[in-house]
Structure 1
Amino acid sequence: MPFFFFFSALAAAIGAQRISDAERPELNRDLALWQQKFGSDDDVRVAMASVKPYRDELLRRIRAAKEMLPSLQEANPHATFSHLTKFALLTDEEFARFAMVSARPLPERLSPATRTNPTALGGPVVKAVDWTKQSVCVPPVKTMGKCRSHWAIAAAAVVSSAHCLATGEAIDLSEQQVLSCTTPGGANGCRGGFATTGMKWLVSQPNSVCSRSAIPYVSGASGSVSICSDNSKCAGSISLQVGNVFEASGDDALVEQLQKQPVVAYVTTSNISWRLYAGGVISWCPAGYPDQPGGQAVLVVGYGTQDTGYGSAPIDFFKVRNAWGTNWGEAGDIRLARGDRHRGTCEVTTYLSYPTLQLPAAIRASMTPTTVDARSVDSVVTNDDASDETE
């Protein structure tokens, strides 16, 4: 029996059982803790909108999640899980509806180890990279809320990061603007979309993009997107220094590009590993709930190695920034094991995209070997070189 159906059948069987007097006190304490931490969370409200809040029903859900932990831990020995995560009280179907139901299938899966960027990266491989700690260029963790805006959040974040790494100017571009102005944005923006499309729209508007402070994110509360508004008020406030958008796939391609910048990936999230994840490295990621197409756009912000102890071999991982708020996972992030050189854990290496870094001519002219290290010099595309690129 496939793991997904095993876990689903187990949860259903456990959840249907009556709450005994012996277990009720502990489950009541667990429910009180969960409600105190997540009862007013926007994501939880969205995901549980159709759930009848009968106490015994909630207690059965907590018990079902709790009983799943041993099997889940065995499948993921380097991660930790909890029956008190923000999505723990959801069924598999409810969680899939929140995580994936609006995700669109990717336009075309890239073949393994593919790169559309004609420039070879080369050079030695750095042992570990974490852009969330190495610079101020990665925007903070966001929360989607009622809108399936993962694609716009990822697009705004990766372009913001690229601009900052090229210029030193930290910005946080408006995902609301991407939602409203990118096709298929507008009225359909909350039904999902492609981060690559959002990136290309941003790159095409280098002098007309807005910051998050200028156009705040409001679709998370409303669940809808207004038409693209006049962004003339932002004209000239940000001069984007990013180049063409490229695509890639494969473990090696992701590792090499992460030495230069964060990268957008699409991952499978509608499964129990993500629903009950509390920390550590995920090494087993089931396919997710049936009939859920595509994947969720996320920002891969680094890679590294975790010591597993007890004489076991260390485990390599990718660090991924999600859009489910800081009260999920490791302060909003998750780590996925490396090893599958083609698709990756949760398909993290299957479809990658990123904008190239592009130094302004003035900055390029002032560069000296003492102001920019070799890795930074190799990672940028100058204005003179940009015309030679092809998408």
Structure 2
Amino acid sequence: MCFLSVLLLTAAIGVLLLSMTTTIAALNISADERRELSTDLTLWQKKFGNDDHVRTVTASANVTHNALLGRLKAAKDKLPALRAANPYATFSHLTKFALLTDKEFAQFASEASPGVLPSPGHLASAARLNRSAPVGGVIVDTVDWTTPPSCVPPVQYKGKCASNWAIAAAAAVSTTHCLATSEIINLSAQLTTSCAYPGGPDGCQGAGIAQDAMRWLVSQSKSLCAESAIPYTSGGTGSAPFCSDNTKCAGTISLRAGPIMTMNGEDALARQLQLQPVVAYVTTLNNVWKMYTGGIVSWCPPTVYVDQAMLVVGYGTEAVDDGTKSVGFFKVRNAWGTDWGERGHIRLQRGLNRETGTCKLAMYLAYSVLPSSRRSDATAGAIPHTPTMTTRGERAPTTQPTIDVEGA
């Protein structure tokens, strides 16, 4: 037998053994556990089986029923460790991404390339931001920019396109404009994905940076399109179409949003959130994000890099341990759809590491400066745009977040 034939036979045997191992692992369970897993799998398929990304992954991998049972069991076995590391959060083996392998999930979630973001040391410090802190420097107890009616655009689902960077950027700049003018807009995430890097890589390949996209949006202030004019389609196709001629939208939106500022640190983030939502990068390539369903996350596995841009939309506290303890958190809006997490959001514990934040939330922060008529001016001592201070239970005006004063 020639060497090539032996090599091919060896490879075939290896594939067969791997397949047998997967099947045996799925079948090496009691009849009761198999029935329970089968019931769970049916529930999962009913809820997420029509999701374009999930269907594409499982179809391309030619995953058998037994293999899916094996994946489901593996996910379920991870729950105790996740709950022990995050006592204030909830997790499930029946989330949208729970049955994806680590490699499959990374293909969906990974965006930022290592080394493309600036060193945190080059970003503005908390002390620098304190110059323009609203409310006389007081950090209020609770801020939530998503309370209806809200300036923040709806939660989106990025689908098969690695476009979190564009979605977060468009949402942030849209919100800044709304806060400055009281005009609610929703800038096109598709336009941002396709056009922020003219002549550059496909916007769905994960090479985009939210800060760059925000700068591009501000530079195009007289010719931007709304989501209704150029709707998001890359989530279904997995690729960004050629940049369309956005001059057709000229005059429809006269954007009011200032330069893009960067900073880092939890204190800086909390103070800026009293003025507006803030773009942040986080680390999501782990089982915490894959299987999260609600509550406050305290821990992510250690890693050097962040991988995805999101919009921080508030912060607050929650009573835990039967009301004997209060835990602070930041509320973060993802772009994985409303059927992930807390209707598209995750809460990350605040105060564990004020420099980097939980899951590195506070390392890379960016916002578009509110126009001078709507932001605080430390030099003049005036604060034209001060978030409304409310006692608990009061409704805030349209263009202001819901805010509670500490001790109210």
Question: TM-score, normalising length from structure 2?
Answer: 0.81
CA offset at residue 25 of structure 1?
A: 1.0
3-state SS, counterpart of residue 259 of structure 2: strand
**Match of 2:339, as an amino acid?**
N
Q: 1:331 aligns with which of 337, 340, 343?
A: 343
CA gap 1:203/1:54 in 2 versus in 1, 3 angstroms: same
Measure, in 1, the Cα distance between the counterparts of 2:198 and 2:320: 44
CA offset at residue 309 of structure 1?
A: 3.0
Spell out, residue by residue over 1:269-294, the C-alpha distance to the aligned partner (whole angstroms, 9 max, x if none).
01000011010000011136xxx954
Q: 2:362 aligns with which of 349, 354, 359?
A: 349
CA offset at residue 73 of structure 1?
A: 0.6
Which residues of 2 match residues 57-68 of structure 1 at below 5 A? 57-68=67-78
Answer with 57-66 or 226-235: which moved more. Answer: 226-235
CA offset at residue 26 of structure 1?
A: 0.8
Measure, in 1, the Cα distance between the counterparts of 2:313 and 2:155: 12
CA offset at residue 120 of structure 1?
A: 3.1
CA offset at residue 18 of structure 1?
A: 2.2
**Match of 1:104, as an amino acid?**
S
**Match of 2:365, as an amino acid?**
L
Question: TM-score, normalising length from structure 1?
Answer: 0.84
Measure, in 1, the Cα distance between the counterparts of 2:363 and 2:198: 22
Q: 1:320 aligns with which of 332, 335, 338?
A: 332
CA offset at residue 93 of structure 1?
A: 2.4
CA contact (8 A) 1:263 1:299 kept: yes
Measure, in 1, the Cα distance between the counterparts of 2:160 and 2:200: 15
3-state SS, counterpart of residue 32 of structure 2: coil
CA gap 1:161/1:249 in 2 versus in 1, 3 angstroms: same
Q: 2:222 aligns with which of 200, 203, 207?
A: 207
Spell out, residue by residue over 1:69-127, the C-alpha distance to the aligned partner (whole angstroms, 9 max, x if none).
11211111000011111111112222122211x43233312128726769532521110
Identity of paired residues, percent? 55
CA contact (8 A) 1:186 1:228 kept: no
Tell me the residue number matched to 2:106: 96
Q: Does 1:157 align with 2:171?
A: yes
Spell out, residue by residue over 1:136-158, the C-alpha distance to the aligned partner (whole angstroms, 9 max, x if none).
20011111111100100000000
Measure, in 2, the Cα distance between the counterparts of 1:330 and 1:160: 22
CA contact (8 A) 1:251 1:349 kept: yes
CA offset at residue 223 of structure 1?
A: 1.3
Which residues of 2 match residues 110-189 of structure 1 at below 5 A? 110-111=120-121, 114=125, 119-121=131-133, 123-133=137-147, 135-183=149-197, 187-189=201-203
Answer with 191-200 or 103-112: which moved more. Answer: 103-112
CA contact (8 A) 1:250 1:343 kept: yes
CA contact (8 A) 2:130 2:137 kept: no
Tell me the residue number matched to 1:191: 205
CA contact (8 A) 1:137 1:165 kept: yes
CA contact (8 A) 1:150 1:323 kept: yes
CA contact (8 A) 1:15 1:64 kept: no
CA offset at residue 185 of structure 1?
A: 7.1
Tell me the residue number matched to 2:81: 71
Cα RMSD over matched residues? 2.5
Which residues of 2 match residues 361-376 of structure 1 at below 5 A? 374-375=386-387
CA contact (8 A) 1:146 1:223 kept: yes
CA offset at residue 233 of structure 1?
A: 1.4
Tell me the residue number matched to 2:13: none
CA gap 1:260/1:360 in 2 versus in 1, 3 angstroms: closer
Q: Could you tell me which runs of 5 or more consecutive residues in structure 1 were left unpaired when the two chains were aligned.
A: 1-11, 362-368, 377-391
3-state SS, counterpart of residue 188 of structure 1: coil
**Match of 1:87, as an amino acid?**
F
Spell out, residue by residue over 1:164-220, the C-alpha distance to the aligned partner (whole angstroms, 9 max, x if none).
011110000001111121127754211121000000001001110000011111111
Answer with 175-184 or 249-258: which moved more. Answer: 175-184
CA contact (8 A) 2:26 2:69 kept: no
Measure, in 1, the Cα distance between the counterparts of 2:227 and 2:61: 33
Bigger radius of gyration among the two: 2
Measure, in 1, the Cα distance between the counterparts of 2:313 and 2:163: 19
Q: Does 1:245 align with 2:264?
A: no
Measure, in 1, the Cα distance between the counterparts of 2:52 and 2:296: 26
CA offset at residue 20 of structure 1?
A: 3.3
Q: Does 1:358 align with 2:371?
A: yes
Report the number of matched residues: 352
